[in-house]
Structure 1
Amino acid sequence: MTTEARDGTETADPTPEGTTAGGFWTGRSGLVVAGILAAIGVYLVAGIITMDVPDGAKSPGPTFFPILIATAVFVLAGLLAIQTLRNPDPMPAGPAEHRFYTDWKSLGLVFFSFLAFALLLVPVGWLLSAALLFWGVARALGSKRPLFDIGLALVFSSCIQLAFGAGLGLNLPGGILEGIYG
C-alpha cells in the first residue's frame, strides 16, 4: 500500500495494512495484569490442593469459597485478556504523554482502613472491624454518603458473619460483641 506525501509523491506505507506501527504488543499492556491475575489464580489453586481438610468437614467444606474465588480470578483474567486483545489501547498521535497519577488520599485511606481492620479484628471483632474496613474503602472510592455507607457496611459484614457461622460452621472473632451474637 502506498501513501501520498505532502509534495504529491507517493511513498510506501511503513505499516502494512491491518498492523500497528509498534507491532502486536503495542497497546496491549493490559495483558500483564491478566497474567498477574492468572498467576494469583494458580497460587490459589496450589493452596486449595495442598489444604488440609479434616475428615469430618461438612459440605460444602473449607475449600468451597477458595474455589469460587480462584474461579472468579481465572474468569476475570480471561475476560481481561480477551478485551485487551480485541481492543488494544490506541497509540498517541504525538509524543507520549504520561496519563498516570496516584491518588494518595484514597490509597492512604484504604491502607489505614486495612491496617485498622488487622489491628482491631481480635479485640473488637469481625462485625465492627470489617464494617470499618468496608466503610473506609467506600469512602476511598468516592462515596459521599457516610451514614448509608456505615449501615451498608454493617449489613454486609453481618451477612459474611452469618455465612461463615451458619453456612460453614466457622467462627469469626466476636470481640466486644461476643456475648451478644457469638
Structure 2
Amino acid sequence: MQIDRFKGGFTLFELMLVIVIIGFIYALVAVKFSQNEEKKIKLSDLPKILRDSRFYKSAEVVCLEDNSKKCKIYFDNELSKMSLQLFKKKPIVYRLMPDETLKEVEFDPVIDEDQKPIPVYFRYKVRKNGAGDEIIVDDGKGALLMFAYADPVRFNDVESARDRVIDIKLKAYE
C-alpha cells in the first residue's frame, strides 16, 4: 500500500502563516486594551500614580494647550514616553492664598524644541517625599481637592473645597 504524502498535514509555510496571523490579531487586541486602560485613569488617581513612581525625585503631569488633548508625564524634569488623557475640557485650577481667598493658577509655559512657548492649562507635581501640589481643580463635574499628602476629595463646588482646606489648616495649628 502506497501513502500519498501530500494529503495528510499542513506545510511549514501554512503553519507559519497561521502563526503570523494570530500574532497580528493579538497585537491589535493588545493595543486596543492598552488604549482603554489609558482612558480609565481619573484625575483623582493621579497623586497615587505619581507617588508610586518612587525611583524619581519628582514626577509631574503637564497638560499643554495644543490639539493633542494628552497630558505629558515628566520624571525628574525629563519627558517620558507615557501620556494620559485626563480632561475632556479645560479645567480651572485654584490655589488657596494666605488670606483664605482662591486665586486661579496661571502655569508657566513649556518650551518646545523650537524654543517656542506652549501654554499649559494644568500641572501637578509630586516630590520624592510624596507631597503633591495643593490645588483645587474645577473640572466641570465639581471640585477636586488635591492636598499635599492626602488622597484627593471631590466636592460639589469650589467653595466647599476651599472651606475644607481652611478647616484642615486651622486644625493643624490647634
Same fold (TM over 0.5): no
TM-score by length of 2: 0.28
Larger strand share, 1 or 2: 2
TM-score by length of 1: 0.27
Larger helix share, 1 or 2: 1
